[in-house]
Amino acid sequence: MADMAEEVRALKREKNAVVLAHYYAPEEAQAAADFVGDSFYLAKAAVQTDADTIVFCGVHFMGESAKILNPSRRVLMPDLAADCAMAHMAAEEQIEKLRAEIKDLAVVCYINSTAKIKSLSDVCVTSSNAVKIVRALPEKNILFIPDQNLGGFVAKQVPEKNFYYSGGYCPVHAVLLAEDVLGEKRAHPAARVLTHPECTESVRAVSDYIGSTAEIIAYAEKSGAEEFIVCTEPGVLYELRARCPGKKFYPAAPECLDMKRNTLAGIRECLLRGCGEIVMDEAEMKGAERPLRRMLELAE
């Protein structure tokens, strides 16, 4: 592994490439990355880089968003089959129907979505900027797609607006039950419960803090508590343990197997051979660019 990590470092220099990794990627990918972060941070890193090649260790919509926001770069993924199931959970017909029926409506699209779904939306959001962006929109009515759990979390904090949902969810976070979390709390009574907003309302209700992966990590680092139950994909434990030596973390949610497709061998392979390239047609990119750029503007 040490040899392969060295080979990846040499290939990055040779190809003028950067590696971006989400906190859910395997530890070996996070260790090899130049930028590690949540979806919002990585989208901004993709815009700002002047490297010729971006190797994106995440799921397909993340690679797509990087390509759309920085189209002159070559975007490679260690495994193009790494997909987010929730990204497909919004129906075009429902968006069109509600647009026709409801006046003063904004379609707000979680970045965990296909480029096609983004192109039907007014603005994209991530879990770390959704509340701020929805609050800033002039529209009173919000169709929040595809994640009904993140949408419900935002709705609680923006009570002045009406929310509609498409019924999508993250299969990784949605299987976590409040009973499981309460069981963990009984086993570790001093632990604080840190939860991603993709978890269900009943899990969020028994949590001490709700935030994106980056926000969960920042909270644990600042907190005076010593133990934490982590209600999000356990890949975050790598950064949590690095930033909070001595603190204890108990993972409660299952792994996202798609994120785990981003192996070090895959990174080496795509740098070496240029395989796993994100290729999109012009119209698809243009349609999704508008709501993504609006997200970047409104989040600042």
The interface partner of residue 127, options being ligand SF4, ligand 13P, none and the CB cut-off 5 to 8 Å by kind, is ligand 13P
Handedness of CA 124, 21, 12, 266 (dihedral sign): negative
Distance CA 118, CA 63 (A): 14
How many amino acids of this chain bind ligand SF4 (CB under 6 A)?
14
Q: What is the crossing angle of helices 60-69 and 282-299, to 10°?
A: 90
Q: Which listed residue (30, 49, 112, 195) binds ligand 13P by CB under 6 A?
A: 112
Q: What does the block give as tokens for 158?
A: 């923006």
Q: What is the full DSSP assignment across 147-176?
A: BHHHHHHHHHH-TTSEEEE--B--HHHHT-
Does 49 engage in binding with ligand 13P (CB under 6 A)? no
Shortest distance (Å) from residue 117 CB to ligand 13P: 15
The interface partner of residue 258, options being ligand SF4, ligand 13P, none and the CB cut-off 5 to 8 Å by kind, is ligand SF4
Does 65 engage in binding with ligand 13P (CB under 6 A)? no
Q: What does the block give as tokens for 250?
A: 């108990």
Does 200 engage in binding with ligand 13P (CB under 6 A)? no
Q: Which listed residue (28, 38, 233, 239) binds ligand SF4 by CB under 6 A?
A: 233
Distance CA 292, CA 297 (A): 9
What element of type H or E holds 98? helix 92-101
**In terms of CB distance, is 8 or 19 closer to ligand SF4?**
19
Distance CA 265, CA 179 (A): 38
The interface partner of residue 268, options being ligand 13P, ligand SF4, none and the CB cut-off 5 to 8 Å by kind, is none
Residue 29's CB is within 10 A of a number of other CB atoms, namely 29
Shortest distance (Å) from residue 171 CB to ligand SF4: 6
Taking CA atoms, 209 is separated from 37, 145, 153, 250, in Å, by 19, 23, 12, 15
Does 29 engage in binding with ligand SF4 (CB under 6 A)? no
Shortest distance (Å) from residue 279 CB to ligand SF4: 21
Distance CA 41, CA 64 (A): 15
Does 256 engage in binding with ligand SF4 (CB under 6 A)? yes
Does 112 engage in binding with ligand SF4 (CB under 6 A)? yes
**In terms of CB distance, is 146 or 291 closer to ligand SF4?**
146
Q: Which listed residue (64, 79, 139, 198) binds ligand 13P by CB under 6 A?
A: 198
Does 38 engage in binding with ligand 13P (CB under 6 A)? yes
Q: Which listed residue (213, 230, 258, 292) binds ligand 13P by CB under 6 A?
A: 213
Does 172 engage in binding with ligand SF4 (CB under 6 A)? yes
Distance CA 105, CA 117 (A): 16
Q: What is the full DSSP assignment across 169-213?
A: --HHHHT--HHHHHHHHHHSTTPEEEE-TTS-HHHHHT-SEE--H
Does 259 engage in binding with ligand SF4 (CB under 6 A)? yes
Q: What does the block give as tokens for 172?
A: 């990784």
Shortest distance (Å) from residue 127 CB to ligand 13P: 4
Binding site for ligand SF4 (CB under 6 A): 59, 84-86, 112, 170-173, 198, 233, 256, 258-259
Binding site for ligand 13P (CB under 6 A): 38-39, 112, 126-128, 170, 196, 198, 212-213
